Structure 1
Amino acid sequence: MTRSDQEGHLPEVDYGEVMDYGEVLWRWLWNLNEYGMCLVNNVPTLPGSVIKVCKRIGRIQETLYGKVFELLVKDNPATIANTGEGLPLHMDLLYYKSPPGLSLLHCLRYDDSVIGGESLLLDCYPILEDLKNNYPEQFHTLTRVPATFQSIHHTGVPPTHFIRRVPHVVLGHHEEIVAVNWCPIAEGALQVSPVDVEPYYQAYLLLAKLFNTSERLLKFRLLPGQLISFNNRRILHGRNSFHSKERGGVRHFEGLFINVDESNSQFHLLNNKFGSEPPKYVFNHSVF
């Protein structure tokens, strides 16, 4: 099954139309289904606006970070996300047995004095298709050998002890890719048979290179009032490091997660009304 390519740009919808018109809401969900990502413009730059957007398609999936989390430089940060450090391409919360399906990030403030901090998005599906076709042995290794994802911080706030072992690539009944697991910053020690160690790392390093050198990478500065939504089981995201050239410069996002099954339900309902074609699979360990 092939997917359309977004041709180097983000599909977009308008906040007011998403909130008022069912057909535009369907278009937003269609973009998420087709491309795995969609930008929502003209969202009010008020705290909690991301919640209003979320309620159009599903309920918040609460995690150890609560219902809504902030991406903002803080003193004594509990996570690297609340620093100015760059974040490599990754997926969120892969140490959960049911990682979030959709992620919403809303830009409340991004001062002109802030240098860097560009958002990064990469659709990993076509890259994995290339890996499958051109490096079948390495692809098979990544579908077979389990990686370890973990968050173990007994003195953290909150304290955590999450461990999950799962291959980087998950296949469905027809050997199609139905989910991806990629988060280098949350990987623990590999716990596999010795015979699998070398093949695993050879395949892992190859895939990492394909991700990090891909010409499909989208890099952009999310502006105040813009909200990026993406499929956390298909799209890798990250950011460049940033700093302020003037004292007090702020980069402030609010984010939340949505269970992909609820958003799929809303999409099916709207697609029956406004769509002309059946939906494609959306990387939630299942096919339509």
Structure 2
Amino acid sequence: MQFLKLRLQNTYAVAQARKKDICGYAPHTKNSAMPDIRNISLNKEKTVVEIHWGDDHKSSWDAILLRLYCQCDRCVDKICLSSLNEDTFVQSVKLDTAPTDNDLLVEIGNDIFDKHVTKISLTWLRLNCYCDLCLNNAIAERQTSFVDPQISFIPSVEYSRIVDDRDAGLFEVAERVMKVGFCVIKDTPTVEETVIKVAEMFAPVHETVTNKMFNVRIQPGPRNTAHTALGLCYHQDLPWYETEPGVQFLHALKFDEDIEGGESQFVDLFQVAEILRKEDPEAFNDLARIPATYETIDYIRAKPAHYETLKPHIELDYFGNVVALHWNPGVEGTLRAKGDDVKKYYRGYNKLLGIIRRKELEWAFRMDAGDIIVFNNHRMVHARKAYSSKENGQRHLQGCYISLDEFRSVYVTLGESLNREVPLFKVGNKSSF
């Protein structure tokens, strides 16, 4: 009979030296230390290792995961799930008893490597415990923090801060965007394409249907309301893409003093969704189930476009958490829902819209020439108040987009290099992590 034999040995430091699992993932292990252990035992079927830690926490590790997450020299970067044959491996897994020490060593019958011993740091096992409590705590730590716009200052960083200490300045911008959803970089040069130069300090600029950079100003014969002086309703940019652009930069090249109106407005859509979930669970569930249609179909514009997609306003993950939101009434296409869902959809739609319009949730402020607003386009909906000028004043903005994942990576890595606290937040990239 082939079986999996479990024992422990004093070979700790494997995880500290490598800090990555067999598929190349490096868990966040800053300031991790060897945990105390009270007891290690097996379940009745001898297929799960049960670890009772010194802090009284209990972890259960399935034998299949123990084999997959081996950190020995033979396995790191060489073996992933696809390497294991279910017929010959999964069905033959068994565990035997073991003493206690620093590393878990596991022998598996019918292993794909001859005379292989699986080795996993106990520190790694504690850090990556996947029990309900640990998963829930990890998710809770990453929940979006909601900031009350009625009692808070507009988050901002002076451009001179970036010039004087680039890494610290960029981190402080990213930190505010991660925590609040947006940040204003003050007093940047009012020179065309400055917005691209600033954005590229974080990540490469994305080319979209609006090209690498776009202008927001009054234009003759406009095909977009943004190119008028009319107000813009709350929206996210370009929702008809598979994934909306992640981080948007908007630079005020000109905002003449005689212009009346034109204030920028922001609302945290994640906060809106949680309010809806609390106040009307039925509407929340309907908007998480029934898809909206987003489209831009225009063959006569300078850059012809045909974009169309269906996705719900609210996306939930495996854990039932809101991980993505989509909202732009200006580019909604024909609803493609089953007949019984039409009234349910619009009931939920109106509920969500009503919460978005609540004044107590709104950030509203006037940009100054030289301001660059940096915001999470997956989290924040933005709008503009109508404006006018008696003396032909100009309001001219330039904008561009970068990847949200790249932006978050810069936030984390800069924070680590600067020895700052780097809490990880849910950002709207369809994941709780």
Contact 1:19/1:56 (8 A) holds in 2? no
Runs of 4+ aligned residues of structure 1 deviating over 4 Å after TM superposition are none
Counterpart amino acid of residue 241 in structure 1:
A
Paired residue for 2:404, among 232, 239, 260? 260
Contact 2:144/2:427 (8 A) holds in 1? no
* Cα-to-partner distance string for 1:240-288 (whole Å, 9 max, x where unaligned): 1112112x31001111111112112211211222332431111111232
- Structure 1: distance between partners of 2:223 and 2:213: 15
- Whether 2:5 is the aligned partner of 1:5: answer no
SS of 2:252's partner is: strand
SS of 2:333's partner is: coil
Report matched runs for 1:131-210 at 5 Å.
Answer: 131-210=276-355
Contact 1:26/1:271 (8 A) holds in 2? yes
Question: What is the CA distance between 1:4 and its match in structure 2?
Answer: 3.0
- Structure 1: distance between partners of 2:146 and 2:311: 28
Paired residue for 2:272, among 108, 119, 127? 127
**Could you say which residue in structure 1 is the equivalent of 2:254?**
109
- Structure 2: distance between partners of 1:271 and 1:131: 34
- Structure 2: distance between partners of 1:110 and 1:278: 36
Name the % identity: 33
* Cα-to-partner distance string for 1:69-91 (whole Å, 9 max, x where unaligned): 11111112232111111100000
* Cα-to-partner distance string for 1:77-132 (whole Å, 9 max, x where unaligned): 23211111110000000011121000110111111221111111111111211111
Question: What is the CA distance between 1:18 and its match in structure 2?
Answer: 2.1
- Structure 2: distance between partners of 1:254 and 1:4: 29
Report matched runs for 1:213-228 at 5 Å.
Answer: 213-228=358-373
Question: What is the CA distance between 1:25 and its match in structure 2?
Answer: 1.4
Question: What is the CA distance between 1:182 and its match in structure 2?
Answer: 0.3
- Structure 2: distance between partners of 1:287 and 1:267: 17
Paired residue for 1:250, among 394, 400, 403? 394
SS of 1:144's partner is: coil
Counterpart amino acid of residue 69 in structure 1:
F
* Distance 1:278-1:74 versus aligned 2 partners, 3 A rule: same
SS of 1:89's partner is: strand
Contact 1:19/1:25 (8 A) holds in 2? no
Paired residue for 1:236, among 381, 398, 404? 381
Contact 1:19/1:53 (8 A) holds in 2? no
- Structure 2: distance between partners of 1:251 and 1:244: 10
Equivalenced residues, count: 287
- Structure 2: distance between partners of 1:14 and 1:173: 40
**Could you say which residue in structure 2 is the equivalent of 1:79?**
224
- Structure 1: distance between partners of 2:289 and 2:164: 46
Question: What is the CA distance between 1:222 and its match in structure 2?
Answer: 0.6
Q: Which of 1 and 2 has greater Rg?
A: 2
Counterpart amino acid of residue 122 in structure 1:
V
Structure 1 unaligned runs (5+)?
A: none
Question: What is the CA distance between 1:65 and its match in structure 2?
Answer: 0.9
Contact 1:90/1:183 (8 A) holds in 2? yes
Counterpart amino acid of residue 265 in structure 1:
S
* Cα-to-partner distance string for 1:139-187 (whole Å, 9 max, x where unaligned): 0001000000000112222221110100001112211111110000000
Taking structure 2 as the reference length, what is the TM-score of the superposition? 0.64
SS of 2:266's partner is: strand
Structure 2 unaligned runs (5+)?
A: 1-139
Taking structure 1 as the reference length, what is the TM-score of the superposition? 0.96
Counterpart amino acid of residue 65 in structure 1:
T
> Taking CA–CA contacts closer than 8 Å with sequence separation of 6 or more, which of the two structures ends up with the larger relative contact order?
1
